[in-house]
Amino acid sequence: MITWGIDVGSSDTKFIKLSVNDEQVEILEYGVYEEKDAGPTLSFPPSALSRGWSKHKIGKHDQVAISVPGHRAIARFTRLPPVAANRLPDIVRYEAEQQMPYNIDEIAWFFHHFPTAPTEFEVGIFGIKKEVLEQSLSQFEEVGFEAVHIAQASTIALYNALYYAGVFEENTVVVDIGHEFTQIIIVAPTMWTRVVPLGGERLLEKLVKDFKLSESKAKSLLKSVEESKYARQIFQSMQPVYADLVSEIQRSIDFFSSTHHDTKINKMVVTGGCSKIPGLIKYLEQNLGISNLDVAGNIDLTGPKADFRLTDRQLWTAYGLALQAGGLAEIEEQFIPPSLSPIAAIKKAFKKIHFPALVTLIVIAAIFIAILVGAITNPGREVLTEELVNATGGVGVNANKIDLLESYALIRIEMLPDGGVKVTPQYSPAYDEFNAAANPLSHQMIKQMMKEQILGKGTSP
């Protein structure tokens, strides 16, 4: 399986391509593309995303996972006593309604539970406003992507990457320093996260102000500060920003420790493009009293682009996305629910077609929904391929629409030389088992969500 992780940030976009076969992972390609218009007035779609898209050839059957901004996502954590699996979704939904800052119908959300003790477990509830999710997806559509299979918060993608690397054997704080924001993740062994509005941009502003530099010259200075004859003065200028970062990290650790007694953080992992600023990691180690772990030395990377370790600090989020696309994520839940993917694909296809092809796809949509609902309520049901063939007769079905639909559906569609359509079932009981493990919703709830999605009022689990 070929998978892609694409992490869109405010200052750059990262692409990484993996080959995943029986949990054997190889890194095939990667690239980092700087945003020419970094800041609050990004172009749409971002120029870095467009350049990365033109550079990398993404196959129509490749699995694609994208990040949604960590600072736009919502994370809430609550402790629950052990409950029956069939009661958990309703209980968590109640908690989400109480804790989310928006109406529950305005957000796409999911939950993940972290077992912490025999008598209780913690639940992480993660959400994002639907309009923000739509904006993230639409920029990929604008560039030319036909299908995005996974949309994940950047904080969770980073967690998944480091979990896969075996980093969390000890209580750990992860500090991911970006251009505008720093993501703080604490794993001990449950997960807690916080995003603070402090990053490399603050350092640039300080240098521009103190030394009367242009932003481009300040960027160059940051990269070569240790070689500068004014290194001492530069570090003195940046020290207040460093101190603010230490304060935010310590506040996060103190808060976590106040709710998780007897928890001591033993290790730190610093990632993100701005973590490469000379002297920053050493400053954090000295002032927090926690040693930093070199993640690149903690995992054996293979493949033609295994030199990924050389730029790993800014690529781990993209790596975590690609791992999730290959089914290797610890947190498998995401903002595009698998049970609703066929409907999302059909709704997207409607925007690009004209009548009578529209009528044809309405028929296909109805049959897809009937197939999926039947598969959920009766896992052993055989897909009735003849119905689809008879309903369409190949009319109005072209290769582009087939590629779009089959990317999300549980079937494989092939055009025949005589203009007909051949449909091969891809459904298996394992699909239901995967969905049940990733998001234990009742069949009735899933069908209700599908009904709401068709009416344009969809909610995400």
Q: CA nearest 439: which of 369, 335, 368?
A: 335
> What is the per-residue burial (b if ≥16 Cβ within 10 Å, else e) of 182-220?
bbbbbbbebbbbbbbebbbbbbbebbbeeeeeeeeebbe
Q: CA nearest 124: which of 174, 191, 216?
A: 191
Q: Compare 381 and 335 and report the one with higher pLDDT.
A: 335
Q: Compare 404 and 147 and report the one with higher pLDDT.
A: 147
* Contacts of residue 36, Cβ cutoff 8 Å, sequence gap at least 6: 43, 47, 48
Report in angstroms the alpha-carbon separations of 406 from 25, 342, 350.
25, 8, 15
Q: How many CB atoms lie within 10 A of CB 309?
A: 16
d(CA 119, CA 83): 10
- Eight-state DSSP code of residue 427: -
Q: CA nearest 332: which of 341, 320, 345?
A: 320
> Does residue 110 have a pLDDT over 60?
yes
Q: CA nearest 175: which of 247, 234, 74, 239?
A: 247
Q: What is the pLDDT of residue 334?
A: 94
Q: CA nearest 353: which of 389, 391, 387, 404?
A: 404
pLDDT tens sequence across 263-306:
899 999 999 988 888 889 999 999 999 999 877 666 666 667 66
pLDDT tens sequence across 57-70:
898 889 999 999 88
> Does residue 27 have a pLDDT over 80?
yes
pLDDT tens sequence across 32-54:
998 876 554 556 678 899 999 99
Domains of the chain: 1-165+299-336 (3.30.420.380), 174-294 (3.30.420.40), 338-454 (no CATH)
Q: What is the pLDDT of residue 308?
A: 66
> What is the per-residue burial (b if ≥16 Cβ within 10 Å, else e) of 121-151?
bbbbbbbbbbebbeebbebbbeeebbbbbbb
* Contacts of residue 293, Cβ cutoff 8 Å, sequence gap at least 6: 167, 172, 267, 268, 269
Burial class of residue 65 (count of CB atoms within 10 Å of its CB; 0-12, 13-18, 19+):
buried
Which residue type occupies 143? V
pLDDT tens sequence across 233-270:
888 999 999 999 999 999 999 999 998 887 899 999 99
- Eight-state DSSP code of residue 70: T
Please tell me whether the overall predicted TM-score, pTM, comes out greater than 0.85 for this model. Answer: no
pLDDT tens sequence across 398-443:
444 343 333 333 344 555 565 555 555 443 333 333 333 333 333 3
Angle at 113 between CA 65 and CA 313, to 5 degrees: 45
d(CA 415, CA 423): 9
- Report the percentage of the chain scoring pLDDT > 90: 42
Q: What is the pLDDT of residue 230?
A: 82
